[in-house]
Structure 1
Amino acid sequence: MNEFIQLLKDSPYLKDWDNSVVLITLASLVAWGLWRFTYTKLLSLSERTSFHWDDLLLHALKTPVSTLIWCWPATISVGLLLEDNFKTQFNWLAQLKLLMVISICVWILIRLVTEIERQFLKDKKRDETTVQAVAKVARTFFVVIGLLSFMQAFGLSLSGLLTFGGVGGLIVGLAAKDLLSNFFGGMMIYFDRPFKVGEWIRSPDRQIEGTVERIGWRMTIIRTFDKRPLYVPNSVFSNIIVENPSRMLNRRINETIGLRYEDSTKMDTIIAQVKEMLENHPEIDNHQTLIVNFNAFGPSSLDFFIYTFTKTVNWIRYHEVKQDVLLKIVEIIRNNDADIAFPTRTLFIEPTQTDAILSQAAQPAAK
């Protein structure tokens, strides 16, 4: 045992306690264990509260802090080993530590934004499209700040970089015109909000119709009703008309119904009863336009029309209400001893031609 202790004392890595790679590694292990213990205790305490922000902050800190605990001492150990072997100073290790700290800070902020975005989407108390847009802008902002900090750490002049960026931005803008138009088209969608994720949209100008699945910076993904994905560049929405049926307040019933000509004396009664039925129907919105009127003399029917709006905007429920309304109209017509007309044609034959037609019809029988 004494020999083992003497061997440790004679070890080149343990002669200087403050410069020992083994001790630095052991210290990292102890610090990591303390962090895990502290994180577990804090997490158990935060889960008992109804306040979610502390949970989000802890989740954002978990992995980056663990990485920093291991990578920072590892950088010091690498520097000690290199200096011992090459007998020279490595100044770039200090910059490496600075870059590491910047990266960890940006990583924590990005993770925090992602956690907040996930929490808002889970609660469903905010508009999904707005939450995703703000989260993307925030992540992009922190990444840009991190890149600028990297350049500053390398000794680059930010004023000169911004000057070059102005000229370079003009060149890139001309070369990537379509990409930028899609980017600003996406910004227009986020700010004007003509539609959002989950809504049904269609365009009378293009063959675009379906449910919005995702709004990206470059393109929007729309799932058509036959379940095919449709990828539309955002710049397209700047030049077309977009209809959003998901934001309808009501759905319209507009139908024309024909009665037989022999039921003309019953038209007034039927129209009055149909209008009364619509006014008392629980699924018809009486605050909207409601019209039931005799409309036209058809080729084989007397036509009247109904024009009204349902309270529901759900596509399936709308058709159920419409079916109920039409069946009630059929019942009203039958209760008045009338009937719905079907296409008919009356053929008039001149009396002078009747004998000729009958004789022609009788000739084959005589043969």
Structure 2
Amino acid sequence: MINQLQLRLPIPLLGILLAAGVWLALQLLGRRLPNGSLGRALVLRSRLSLALTILVSTSAWWLLTLLGPELLPLPRGGAEVRDELIFFGLIWTLLRWKSEIWSQADTYSQQVFPSLPQRDRLFLFDISDKLFTMLVVVIIGLKLLRLLGTPTALLATAGGFGAAALGFGARTIVENGLSGISLYINRPFVVGDFIRIPSEDLNGTVQTISWFYTELRDPERQPIFIPNSIFTIKPIINIARIDSRRVWIDFGLRYDDRAAIETIIAELREQLESNTRIDHQKAPAVHFVGYGDSSLNLRLLCYVASGDIQAAWDLQQELLLRIGEVVDKHQAGMPFPTRTLIRG
């Protein structure tokens, strides 16, 4: 027994040396790759899982060979257990890669798809994550069924019961799942878009799109979880896809300044035509629109050259200041509510 143990001791020692060698090789390889790159991150992320997989699988194989076929009869003398541990170790490594990629999805997606806009890059990463997760689950499930020796007839029976359950008791789950697939195919919105659901009085930034629900973050930073089936039956407004935002400003002049209306309008139109922040494909306009109770009502209308809300607010502020300057320049004024009391 002692001689047999001495012959079999090199197996765990070789496992320790091999695990240490893999760790060192990955460490050296990772340091040769550019700092901050996806390749470097994945290589360094693989060190722990691969080294532990080698160490555990060789140790388990060694222990099973020590037990011998008398105590634990295995067709391949424990080699099949070693192979299964290696398989699950590789799956663990892939899951660690997935975690690393999603920890800095925006940075890594820019490296992989440098020519695509951010929303498209994140969409591709998101759908790749869902497909990868589904693939891993299917592979692990099939592997476990094979290890358990599940017969084909039992799988067929379970499939029949599963179909019946879907038909009678899981209609909502199926609807949400199919709607989730539809969201990935049609792409009415992607992660990062700000959307609004008027019928539900909901709005927020899309955080995640899962198979069965979508998470929004509203302006108060509260998470909102919406079943995907809503998006197939309710109209959705994707505010992030606005190509240019409208700036609409109503203002008034005093009735005593009626003679200055045309010159004020003309100068404001000139300023709009020379403003590079305005979308001139949609003609800007300034008009006298009516007689109010205490003012001559005017309206300025234009569109921002981008769909950015911050750019729209900046342009609106600039135009409000310009309107005041032009009105003062022509010695006109803006009315304010007044009340005249007549004492009898």
For normalisation by structure 2, the TM-score amounts to 0.82
Q: How far did 1:251 drift?
A: 1.6
Corresponding residue for residue 259 of structure 1? 253
The aligned runs of 1:309-320 (5 Å cut-off) are 309-320=303-314
Corresponding residue for residue 354 of structure 1? none
Corresponding residue for residue 210 of structure 1? 204
Contact 1:130 1:190 (C-alpha < 8 Å) held by counterparts: no
Contact 1:121 1:131 (C-alpha < 8 Å) held by counterparts: no
**Code of the aligned partner of 1:91:** L
Contact 1:300 1:345 (C-alpha < 8 Å) held by counterparts: no
Q: How far did 1:337 drift?
A: 2.2
- Partner residue of 2:215 out of 218, 221, 224: 221
Q: Which stretch shifts more, 266-275 or 332-341?
A: 332-341
Corresponding residue for residue 350 of structure 1? none
The 2-side partners of 1:263 and 1:53 are apart by 66
Q: Which stretch shifts more, 329-338 or 68-77?
A: 68-77
Partner of 2:290, secondary structure, is: strand
Corresponding residue for residue 163 of structure 1? 156
Report the structure number with the largest CA radius of gyration.
1
Corresponding residue for residue 14 of structure 1? 3
Partner of 1:145, secondary structure, is: helix
The aligned runs of 1:197-346 (5 Å cut-off) are 197-343=191-337
The 2-side partners of 1:305 and 1:240 are apart by 35
Partner of 2:249, secondary structure, is: strand
Q: Cα–Cα, structure 1 residues 301 and 115, in superposed 2: closer, same or farther, change >3 Å?
A: closer
Contact 1:39 1:58 (C-alpha < 8 Å) held by counterparts: no
The 1-side partners of 2:334 and 2:38 are apart by 66
Q: How far did 1:196 drift?
A: 2.2
The 1-side partners of 2:45 and 2:73 are apart by 33
For normalisation by structure 1, the TM-score amounts to 0.77
Q: Cα–Cα, structure 1 residues 269 and 343, in superposed 2: closer, same or farther, change >3 Å?
A: same
**1:262-283: CA deviations, max 9, x gaps?**
3222221111111111111232
**1:48-69: CA deviations, max 9, x gaps?**
2459676466446433433333
Corresponding residue for residue 48 of structure 1? 32
- Partner residue of 2:73 out of 82, 86, 90: 90
**1:90-111: CA deviations, max 9, x gaps?**
2385654454344234334444
Corresponding residue for residue 48 of structure 2? 63
The 1-side partners of 2:287 and 2:143 are apart by 74
Tell me, which stretches of 5 or more residues in structure 2 are unaligned? 114-120
Q: How far did 1:141 drift?
A: 0.8
Contact 1:99 1:153 (C-alpha < 8 Å) held by counterparts: no
Partner of 2:73, secondary structure, is: coil
The 2-side partners of 1:59 and 1:187 are apart by 34
Corresponding residue for residue 107 of structure 1? 92
Contact 1:260 1:340 (C-alpha < 8 Å) held by counterparts: yes
Corresponding residue for residue 166 of structure 2? 173
The 1-side partners of 2:25 and 2:53 are apart by 20
Partner of 2:236, secondary structure, is: coil
The alignment's C-alpha RMSD in Å is 3.2
**Code of the aligned partner of 1:195:** F
**Code of the aligned partner of 1:168:** F
**Code of the aligned partner of 2:50:** V
Q: Which stretch shifts more, 29-38 or 321-330?
A: 29-38
Q: How far did 1:257 drift?
A: 2.0
Aligned residues: 331
The 2-side partners of 1:247 and 1:328 are apart by 29
The 1-side partners of 2:226 and 2:299 are apart by 40
